[in-house]
Amino acid sequence: MVSVPPKIDLLPEHLIDQIKAGEVIERPGNLIKEILENAVDAGSTKIELSIKNNGLDLISLKDNGHGMRKDDLPLAFSRHATSKISRFEDLYKLRSFGFRGEALASIAAISKLHCISQTRESKTASEIKIEGGLTLYHGERQTGSGTHGTELQIQDLFFNTPARLKFIQSQQAEKTFIRKIVFAFILSRPEIEFQIKFDDADKDIYPGRETLRERIEDIFPKAKETILHSERFYENNELTLFLIPGSFKAPVKLQNIFINGRYILDKQLHRVLSNALDATFGGDDFHYVAHFHLPPDTIDVNVHPNKTVIKCLEISKMISLLTSTVKELGSKRPVRESQIP
């Protein structure tokens, strides 16, 4: 028996956004990463972040970046709307974290969101309220001039995607993941002041610093004398590596690799680094912060919607840089008394 074929229809926009949101915002930490990226891309020098119940109840972010104009505000929350690229070739000389124009649309599709934004020139702030992808309010209010930046309040994440909510791991796993993300920004942009608040705890303040070393010393004030640090070049590739003995505690284990300022989750590079550390330091435990600076046309960041995977053309050069830098740091490390025969 031949059955009647069902009619094919285009999905409504807000449903597409909800489906796409699954790729970009798998868990609250992904959302926090996206809004921190936007605040950095907006040229902010101060970012305040407050997180309640691991982001499920409230995530609020306030930055002092360039803000958004009233007419642009609804566009920012539309899919594939970006101010960061206009041609495909731009992807290979990116200076911004963002380029896909889908984070805010994804976030708005699965939360209750309120955004207030003001540009430097404006005497009014623009405001938008969106719930589950549907705009409830778009307007402006007088503020007088002098302030600029963007404030985002995101409540009840996943309220309309209960299946996603069920997949959220244990409270502890989420908390650890969020802290890893937040510290990835603290460790990639020392010049920006970060104020971070979890639930009802006091806020942690990391003042803006000129160098990454100073920022690392703010995180590990007692480790100053023991931090190992090297900068090495190999042709056009540069690596800056910091090692901090694991006996010094941070809110979370810091093992971060950045490529051109972007936090990446690359199993191969982490494995190479941890093997090199084992071989050189005989199994001692370290926090590490590794920053690669590579020619933008040798990397491809357009691999996954959450932008934490990067394809690198010169991966073998990066691996030799990592191993040779660890060896060099091994020879710099002061001999401990217990090792003197």
- Give contact residues for ligand ADP (rule: CB under 6 A): 34, 38-39, 42, 63, 65-68, 76, 81-84, 98-105, 150
Part in contact with Mg ion (CB under 5 A); list of ranges 64-72, 99-107, 151-159, 223-231: 99-107
Q: Which residues 6+ apart lie within 8 Å of 110 measured at CB?
A: 18, 21, 25, 132, 157, 158, 159, 160, 161, 164
Is-contact 82 90, C-beta < 8 A? no
Position among 29, 55, 65, 98 found at the interface with Mg ion (CB under 5 A)? 98
Are β-strands 112-118 and 58-63 bridged in parallel, bridged antiparallel, or unpaired?
unpaired
Is-contact 294 327, C-beta < 8 A? no
Nearest position to ligand ADP, beta carbon? 98
Query: Of the two residues 47 and 103, which places its CB atom closer to Mg ion in the complex?
Result: 103
Is-contact 33 256, C-beta < 8 A? no
- Both tokens assigned to 188: 């990639």
- Both tokens assigned to 154: 């995101």
Residue spans of alpha helices (H) in the chain: 13-24, 28-41, 73-76, 103-109, 162-167, 171-186, 212-219, 267-281, 315-332
Min separation Cβ 38 and Mg ion, Å: 4
Query: Of the two residues 128 and 321, which places its CB atom closer to Mg ion in the complex?
Result: 128
Query: Of the two residues 32 and 76, which places its CB atom closer to ligand ADP in the complex?
Result: 76
- Both tokens assigned to 18: 């909800």
Query: Of the two residues 29 and 65, which places its CB atom closer to ligand ADP in the complex?
Result: 65
Query: Of the two residues 98 and 149, which places its CB atom closer to Mg ion in the complex?
Result: 98
Nearest position to Mg ion, beta carbon? 98
Q: What number of chain residues touch Mg ion (CB under 5 A)? A: 3
∠ CA 185-186-192, rounded to 5°: 95
Min separation Cβ 102 and Mg ion, Å: 8
Listed residue (233, 232, 229) closest to 212, CA to CA: 229
Position among 40, 103, 107, 269 found at the interface with Mg ion (CB under 5 A)? 103
Min separation Cβ 1 and ligand ADP, Å: 48
Which of the choices Mg ion, ligand ADP, none does residue 110 contact, using the CB cut-off of 5 to 8 A by kind? Answer: none
Min separation Cβ 11 and Mg ion, Å: 23
Query: Of the two residues 150 and 325, which places its CB atom closer to ligand ADP in the complex?
Result: 150
Min separation Cβ 119 and ligand ADP, Å: 9
Question: Under rule CB under 5 A, which residues in 27-46 are in contact with Mg ion?
Answer: 38
Min separation Cβ 98 and Mg ion, Å: 3
Min separation Cβ 139 and ligand ADP, Å: 18
Query: Of the two residues 82 and 161, which places its CB atom closer to ligand ADP in the complex?
Result: 82
∠ CA 232-294-81, rounded to 5°: 150
Single-letter code of the amino acid located at 318: M
Single-letter code of the amino acid located at 340: I
Q: Residues interacting with Mg ion, by CB under 5 A? A: 38, 98, 103
